[in-house]
Structure 1
Amino acid sequence: MSSLCVYHVSSPALPNKVLTHLEDIASTLAEHGVTFDRWQAETPLARDASHEEVISAYRTQIDKLMTEHGHGLMDVLTVKRDHPQKAELRAELLEEHHYDNDVVRFFAAGLGLFSLHIGDFVYAVQCERNDLISIPAGTRHWFDMGEHPHLVMIRLARDAQGRAPKFNSESIAGQFPRLDD
């Protein structure tokens, strides 16, 4: 189930607010320029769908978003339990970072936890299948795919330069709950 837990940076063990309804999550995040939405596939997807089949199932929504926001790059990231570099990928993304481009991610399968560090608060957004999140450029955040990941995620970006993460020298990421907690 998609959810949003809002923590004050001084109390990482106890959320101030927990939301589970799409409209509540979307409106709370929208106050900070973050888009949260849910898409439905135009065609059913098999568990072992290829990247091309994943893109095809969401083509109309992807094209609309790419046109509206000027995204020129798209790819599909698949990380499953047997991924040979899952531990390294997870460790890198668990460090607080930001991008020069908006971060646009759509979950075609599986789940993950985006934690956004905005001012004195952390907004932990658990995304699952059919969830879209768009995080404005420059927003400090980290991502957890869990110890035993399962996700298929469509990633959009404006250009290749803006896709490189910029890690922050001070990070509070390790203080907050992870996906498996």
Structure 2
Amino acid sequence: MTTLSIFDAHNPEAAPAITHDPGEIAAQLNSKGVRFERWPTQNLPADAAPVEILEAYSAEIAKLKAESGFQTADVISLNPDNPQKEAFRKKFLDEHTHSEDEVRFFVRGQGIFYLHLGDQVFAVQCQKNDLISVPEGTRHWFDMGPEPEFTCIRLFTNPEGWVAEFTGDNIAGQLPRYEALEGEAV
């Protein structure tokens, strides 16, 4: 279930406000300039190839490209049996920004985007059919958990793909990780 947990950035151990209502999640995030929406399910096999996934969502991808100037779309997938899963997880766990919007559509599985917006941190556990677009310059990080299980479509304006500027802020280490939120709030 998609979940939004809102933490006080100055008091991260305080209990967060939590909602599971997709409409409320979209309204909260949209009010902060973060695009969040649910796309209809496409009938794809569990082992669908990236080209099949991109074809199944071609209309939605074309719409986003036209609206926001994205140049490329690809598919990233990670499973618990990946021998580099710990390194991949660590790569995204520190707070960073990008010079372009970070767009992810969850084809399967889940992961948590943490958005550091002013005095709050919005932890969005995205699930299958969730689209999130984190605006350029937004301080954030991503936690896929210790046993990652997801497939996402990514869109980029920069042909180099994912390029991060790390902030050096240690807030990501002060908030509950995937395991705590997945077990308690979701």
What's the TM-score once normalised by structure 1's chain length? 0.95
Question: How is 1:5-20 mapped onto 2 (pairs within 5 angstroms)?
Answer: 5-20=5-20
SS of aligned partner of 1:78: strand
Give the Cα–Cα distance (whole angstroms) in 1 for the partners of residues 6 and 152 of structure 2. Answer: 24
Give the Cα–Cα distance (whole angstroms) in 2 for the partners of residues 87 and 138 of structure 1. Answer: 26
In structure 1, list runs of 5 or more residues that go unmatched.
none
Give the Cα–Cα distance (whole angstroms) in 1 for the partners of residues 178 and 52 of structure 2. Answer: 28
Stretch of structure 1 that moved more, 106-115 or 4-13: 4-13
Aligned-pair identity in percent equals 42
Residue in structure 2 matched with residue 46 of structure 1 by the alignment: 45
Pairwise CA distance, 1:84: 2.1
Pairwise CA distance, 1:162: 6.7
Give the Cα–Cα distance (whole angstroms) in 2 for the partners of residues 78 and 150 of structure 1. Answer: 8
CA RMSD of aligned residues (A): 1.2
Give the Cα–Cα distance (whole angstroms) in 2 for the partners of residues 146 and 138 of structure 1. Answer: 24
Residue in structure 2 matched with residue 92 of structure 1 by the alignment: 91
Give the Cα–Cα distance (whole angstroms) in 2 for the partners of residues 93 and 14 of structure 1. Answer: 24
Displaced runs of 4 or more, over 2 A: 13-16, 160-163
What's the TM-score once normalised by structure 2's chain length? 0.93
Question: How is 1:149-164 mapped onto 2 (pairs within 5 angstroms)?
Answer: 149-160=148-159, 163-164=162-163
Change (3 A) 1:39 1:71: same
Residue in structure 2 matched with residue 117 of structure 1 by the alignment: 116
Residue in structure 2 matched with residue 77 of structure 1 by the alignment: 76
Pairwise CA distance, 1:153: 0.6
Residue in structure 2 matched with residue 25 of structure 1 by the alignment: 25
Report how many aligned residue pairs link the two structures: 180
Residue in structure 2 matched with residue 145 of structure 1 by the alignment: 144
